[in-house]
C-alpha cells in the first residue's frame, strides 16, 4: 500500500475537519476512515484507494455503544463490533435476524475486529473491482467486466451499469427491521431510512454504494421496536467456514394466529443494494404460510430478475431460501 499519515483524532469535530467538503467528490479518497480495517486494508493493499491520510475512528470516544431502550428500540453505534452484536442475548431476543446476520459474517477473527459502520459502508467484493489492474466502471472505467465476463457471483436484480452485489450481511437484516441511519457531516446530523441509504448504480454515482457525501460519516443505526415481529436471517454460502453470501434472505413477519399481518423480505447477495421484495411482502399479507403462499412469495420476490451467463442459479437458490425462511418462522 502507499504510505499515508496515520491520524488518531480525539473528537468528532477533528474528524470532520479532516474530511473534504460536501461537494468535493474528487477529494473523497484523499482521506479514508478506518474502523475495524477488515475491508479498508484489502483496498489499500491492492491500491484501490491511495489516501494521504487514514483516520482511526477507534480513537473516538462514545461510538461503540449498543443500547436497548425501554420502548423496545435499539441503538447501534458505528463502532459496535459484529462480535458484540452476535453475542448480545438481548439483541437476539429483540431481533434474531440482526444477531443471526452479524454472526454469519466472515470468521470469528473478522467479527471481533469488524464494525457495524464498516460493514454497512464496505466496498464491493466483485473480483474485477478488487483487482487493481481491471479498470472497471466502479473504478472510473468504461465497462463492467463482470457483465460479459465471469459473473457467477454478480447481481441478478437491480444491475446495470455495474453488476456488483452489496456484500454486507447486516444491511438486509437492518433494512428488514426498518432501521434508520444517523449521518453526521460538516453541517450537522441527518437521519435517513437505511433502505434509502443504499443506492443503485443506476441511481446514485456508479462509483458509490450509498448516499454518504464526502464530508459525512455514519454515526449510528437506530432500530425501531420489534415487538410482535418474528424474524430470521438465512444466508447461503459456497463454503461454510467463511464466505460472502451467494444469496441471503432477511425475513420478518408479524403473525396473527398463523396469518401474516405484515411481512418484510430483504434479499442479500443478489443486487447492488439490499433488495426489498415488496411485491412478495404484499402478497403474503392475510395469508397463512403454506406451500402455495411460499411458492407465490418466492416467485414474486424474483420478478424482474435477469440472469447473466453464469449466475442464473441464484434465482432458484434465492427462491429456496425464501421458502426455507418462511417455513422456519411459521
Partner 1 sequence: MTRELLQDKPPREPAPGKKWIRVTKVVNGIDSEVWEEVDDVQGPEWGPRDKLRLVSRAIPRVDGPEKVTGRAQFSHDVRLPGMLYAKVLRCPRPCAKVRLDLDAARRLKGVVGVVELGVDEVKWLGRPIAAVAAETPELAEDGLRAIVASYEDQPFAVTPARAQVDGAPLVNSKGNLRGLSRNTDTSEVDAALAKAEVKVKGTWRVPVQHHASLETHGIVVDYRGGDEATVYASTQGTFTIPGDAAGRLGLKPNQVTAVVEHMGGGFGSKFGIGIEGQAACLLAKETKRPVHLLFDRASEFHAAGNRSGGEHELEAGVSRAGELTAFKARVTRDGGISDGAGQPQPYIYAPKVAFAEQRCVHTNLDGHRAMRAPGHPQASFAMEGLMDEAAYAIGMDLVEFRKRNLPEGKRELYARQLDKCAELIGWAAHAHRSKWDASNAELKTGIGFGLARWGGGGGKDCRVEVRIASDGSVEVLSGTQDLGTGTRTYCASIVAEELGLELGQVRARIGRSTFGNANPSGGSTTAASLAPAVKHAAWNAKRALFDKLAELLGGEARNFACGGNLIYDATDKTRHIGWKDACAALGPNGLAAQGEWQSHLAANDIGGAQAAKVQVDTTTGEVKVLEMVAVQNCGLVLNELTARSQLNGGMVQALSYGLFEERVVDPDLGLFLNANFEDYKLAGCKDIPKMLAVFEDDPRGVIGMAEAAVIPGHSAIANAVRNACGVRVYEMPLTCDKILNGLIALKKA
Ligand X SMILES: Cc1cc2nc3c(=O)[nH]c(=O)nc-3n(C[C@H](O)[C@H](O)[C@H](O)COP(=O)(O)OP(=O)(O)OC[C@H]3O[C@@H](n4cnc5c(N)ncnc54)[C@H](O)[C@@H]3O)c2cc1C
Name the burial class of residue 204, with classes exposed (0-12), middle (13-18) and buried (19+) by CB atoms within 10 angstroms of its CB.
middle
Q: Give the shortest CB-127-to-partner 1 separation in angstroms.
A: 4
Q: Which is nearer to partner 1, 44 or 98 (CB)?
A: 44
CA distance 102 to 36: 14
Residue facing ligand X at closest CB distance:
118
139-167 burial: b if 16+ Cβ within 10 Å, else e:
eeeeebbbbebebbbbbbbbbeebbbbbb
Find the binder of ligand X among 74, 80, 91, 113 (CB under 6 A). 113
Instruction: Show the binding pattern over residues 7-46: x = contacts partner 1 (CB under 8 A), - = does not.
Output: ----------------------------------------
Positions 123 through 142 that interact with partner 1 (CB under 8 A)? 125, 127-128, 130-131, 133-134
Site for ligand X in 181-200 (CB under 6 A): none
**Which is nearer to partner 1, 77 or 151 (by Cβ)?**
151
* 313 touches partner 1 (CB under 8 A): yes
Q: Where are the alpha helices (DSSP H) in the chain?
A: 12-18, 40-45, 82-86, 89-94, 96-103, 108-113, 116-121, 170-176, 194-197, 278-284, 291-301, 314-329
Give the contacts of 3 (CB within 8 A, at least 6 positions apart).
Answer: none
Positions that interact with partner 1 (CB under 8 A): 1-3, 107, 125, 127-128, 130-131, 133-134, 145, 149-150, 152, 236, 238-243, 246, 310-313, 316-317, 320-321, 323-324
Positions that interact with ligand X (CB under 6 A): 32-40, 42, 57, 78, 82, 105-106, 110, 113-115, 117-119, 121-123, 167-169, 212, 217-218, 242, 244
Amino acid at each position: 500500500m502507499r504510505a499515508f499519515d496515520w491520524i488518531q483524532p480525539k473528537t468528532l469535530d477533528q474528524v470532520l475537519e479532516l474530511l473534504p467538503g460536501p461537494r468535493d467528490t474528487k477529494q473523497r479518497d484523499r482521506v479514508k476512515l478506518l474502523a475495524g480495517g477488515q475491508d479498508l486494508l484489502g483496498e489499500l493493499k491492492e491500491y484501490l484507494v491511495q489516501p494521504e491520510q487514514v483516520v482511526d475512528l477507534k480513537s473516538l470516544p462514545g461510538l461503540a455503544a449498543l443500547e436497548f431502550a425501554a420502548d423496545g428500540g435499539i441503538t447501534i453505534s458505528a463502532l459496535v463490533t459484529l462480535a458484540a452484536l452476535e453475542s448480545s442475548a438481548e439483541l437476539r431476543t429483540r431481533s434474531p435476524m440482526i444477531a443471526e446476520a452479524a454472526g454469519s459474517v466472515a470468521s470469528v477473527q473478522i467479527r471481533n475486529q469488524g464494525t457495524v459502520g464498516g460493514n454497512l459502508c464496505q466496498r464491493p467484493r466483485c473480483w474485477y473491482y478488487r483487482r487493481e489492474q481491471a479498470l472497471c466502471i466502479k473504478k472510473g472505467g468504461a465497462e463492467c467486466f463482470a457483465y460479459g465476463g465471469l459473473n457467477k457471483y454478480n447481481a441478478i436484480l437491480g444491475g446495470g451499469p455495474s453488476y456488483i452485489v452489496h456484500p454486507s450481511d447486516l444491511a438486509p437484516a437492518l433494512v428488514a427491521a426498518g432501521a434508520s441511519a444517523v449521518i453526521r457531516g460538516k453541517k450537522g446530523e441527518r437521519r435517513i431510512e437505511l433502505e434509502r441509504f443504499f443506492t443503485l448504480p443506476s441511481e446514485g454515482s456508479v462509483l458509490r454504494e450509498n448516499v454518504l457525501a464526502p464530508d459525512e460519516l455514519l454515526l449510528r443505526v437506530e432500530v425501531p421496536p420489534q415487538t410482535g415481529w418474528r424474524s430470521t436471517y438465512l444466508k447461503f454460502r459456497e463454503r461454510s467456514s467463511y464466505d460472502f453470501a451467494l444469496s441471503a434472505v432477511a425475513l420478518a413477519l408479524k403473525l396473527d394466529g398463523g396469518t401474516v399481518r405484515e411481512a418484510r423480505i430483504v434479499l442479500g447477495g443478489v443486487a447492488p443494494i439490499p433488495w426489498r421484495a415488496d411485491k412478495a411482502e404484499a402478497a403474503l399479507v392475510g395469508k397463512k404460510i403454506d406451500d402455495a403462499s411460499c411458492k407465490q412469495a418466492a416467485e414474486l420476490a424474483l420478478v424482474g430478475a435477469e440472469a447473466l451467463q453464469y449466475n442464473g442459479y441464484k434465482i432458484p437458490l434465492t427462491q429456496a431460501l425464501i421458502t426455507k425462511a418462511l417455513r422456519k418462522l411459521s
